């Protein structure tokens, strides 16, 4: 049976398309491919749209303790790009609610105005094979979620010249 080639897009249901459109455009530096009062389609790469939001009627605000999709993740090419994005958002008082070294990724999580979550990440390993080997190993089995960190520390150490490979990898202590 064939598998999909790629994840095409994610659609958010909202009562305020304009507010969500502006937030996601800012987060991802996306552009509006089409927008109206009731729908918006956003692109940030070669795809015609990756994110959309639509108003299908009035709905209750998403609650963190309800079932459903937890977050959508976006990978940056390198740590410098992730740091640039973090600083750009921080300077607008858009702060992450969680920062974690998962193991295969170094990740920063944000919440949009409706409570949907976005993970901005950078891959730790150069190849999928290396990431898979880590995920099959004992360190990941002992702690599959990861180790929290402070992005401000990463920014400071990056500016001090610490190599990216040292900044993105989580410590080898599975008990943490």
Please report, rounded to a whole number, the percentage of residues in the chain having pLDDT higher than 90.
82
pLDDT band at 3 (very low <50, low <70, confident <90, very high): confident
Q: What is the mean pLDDT of residues 8-24?
A: 95
pLDDT of residue 70: 83
* pLDDT tens-digit map of 78-93: 999 999 999 999 999 9
pLDDT band at 176 (very low <50, low <70, confident <90, very high): very low
C-alpha to C-alpha distances, 35 to 17, 39, 42, 148, nearest whole angstrom: 9, 6, 9, 37
pLDDT of residue 49: 94
Please state the separation of Cα 151 from the chain's center in Å: 14
pLDDT band at 174 (very low <50, low <70, confident <90, very high): very low
Q: What is the pTM of this model?
A: 0.90
Q: What is the mean pLDDT of residues 62-91?
A: 90
Residue 150 has pLDDT above 80, yes or no: yes
Weakest mean pLDDT among 42-46, 59-63, 95-99, 159-163:
59-63
31 or 67, which is more confident: 31
Q: Is 57 exposed, middle or buried (0-12, 13-18, 19+ CB in 10 A)?
A: exposed
pLDDT of residue 172: 67
Sheet-wide strand order for 31-35: 10-13, 51-54, 39-43, 31-35
pLDDT of residue 6: 85
Residue 64 has pLDDT above 80, yes or no: no
């Amino acid at each position: 049976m064939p598998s999909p080639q790629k994840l095409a897009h994610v659609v958010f249901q909202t009562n305020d398309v304009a507010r969500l459109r502006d937030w996601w455009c800012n987060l991802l530096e996306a552009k509006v491919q089409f927008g109206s009062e009731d729908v918006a389609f956003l692109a940030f790469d070669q795809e015609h749209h990756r994110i959309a939001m639509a108003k299908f009627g009035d709905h209750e605000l998403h609650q963190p303790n309800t079932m459903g999709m937890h977050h959508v993740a976006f990978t940056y090419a390198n740590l410098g790009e992730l740091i640039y994005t973090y600083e750009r958002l921080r300077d607008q008082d858009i702060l992450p609610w969680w920062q974690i070294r998962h193991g295969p990724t170094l990740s920063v999580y944000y919440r949009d105005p409706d409570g949907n979550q976005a993970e901005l990440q950078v891959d730790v390993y150069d190849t999928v094979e290396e990431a898979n080997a880590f995920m099959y190993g004992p360190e990941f089995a002992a702690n599959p979620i990861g180790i929290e960190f402070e992005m401000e520390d990463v920014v400071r150490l990056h500016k001090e010249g610490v190599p990216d490979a040292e900044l993105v990898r989580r410590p080898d202590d599975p008990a943490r």
